[in-house]
A and B are shown apart, each in its own frame.
Chain A
């Protein structure tokens, strides 16, 4: 069974304090790994796609990396506006039709 876990469940950082979020997965036939940001009361917003071990993607203060069993979302010098829930998901299935999401990490960045 395809599974995605995320840690920590919640994270509080001071503004400027860098950290990393973890996403561990077990999936047969990984098609891609996705990171999303979700603000309260809104739908998830796409951040990154990774599909091969060793791949890295960057966007402003965020950097996502991928290994064969996990992915990390590194947040460098975060700002209060980075506060959100970060979701990890894997795409699987013969036609890439299935998406399995992790429970998310709720990030709070304090000024």
Chain B
């Protein structure tokens, strides 16, 4: 089954404790992206990757890091989480390119709470 998986699904942590949210896709997609979703603000792009070893900032990259060492994996790293990073996070993937018909597939989400 074609899918994007994220782990963990739920995470409660404390300020300053480094954490990683994993994302994996089995569709051989070049493009992967991370979003955060907050009430009233919609989905906002954090980072994206056009291919292995190629990453770039989205609209809200502050406080986050990513890496793309393998095509299927795109982990999101919070080096020193703060309460304003409490949010619902989604990973997504699609075929690379400007062809708009390429559907973007989303993972099930990770709900992060930073106290």
Contacts and interface: CB of A to CB of B under 8 A. Distances in A.
Contacts of A32: 100-101
Interface stretch (A14-22, A38-46, A67-75, A76-84): A38-46
Contacts of A97: 31, 48, 50, 56
Given A46-B104, A98-B58, A99-B33, A89 B43 contact: yes
Chain A interface category by residue count = 20 to 34
A34 B104 contact: yes
Interface stretch (B12-20, B66-74, B75-83, B106-114): B106-114
Contacts of B92: 43
Contacts of A45: 106
Contacts of B97: 95-96
B31 A44 contact: no
A44 B33 contact: no
Contacts of A89: 43
Contact of A101 (B42, B48, B99, B109): B42
Given A32-B100, A87-B43, A101-B44, A43 B109 contact: yes
A31 interface: yes
A66 to B, nearest CB: 11
A42 B100 contact: no
Contact of B99 (A41, A46, A96, A99): A96
A10 to B, nearest CB: 11
A96 B42 contact: no
A96 B33 contact: no
Contacts of A99: 33, 43, 45, 104
Interface in B55-71: 56, 58-59
A65 interface: no
